[in-house]
Amino acid sequence: MRTSVITPKSKKELKSAITSTLDGYSYNLFEGEIRKGDKYAAISYRFFGNNISVEVLYWQDGKTSPVDYPSHCTTPTGVTNKVAKFLGLK
């Protein structure tokens, strides 16, 4: 897993940055912040019993609490779609 901050310009670039492919399966290996302007999505992992879920928290600089409800995804595509929508990436 990598922890970092990225600033993608497009949805395609975002998916490429957070996805790793091994044996034909896609995995989300990114943990950190995805930024665009003063908005960012914080990506982390949560365990629910035997399942792992990617938690996405939506933040804006200068705010002391998230600006939207958290999302939980199980695939890199789900993370990409939700983060791209929040940040306005096409």
- The pLDDT of residue 30 is 80
- The pLDDT of residue 47 is 83
pLDDT interval class at 3 (50, 70, 90)? low
Average pLDDT over residues 16-45: 85
Label residues 26-50 b or e (16+ Cβ within 10 Å = b): eebebebbbbbeebbbbbeeeeeee
Task: Give pTM, 2 decimals.
Answer: 0.85
- The pLDDT of residue 63 is 92
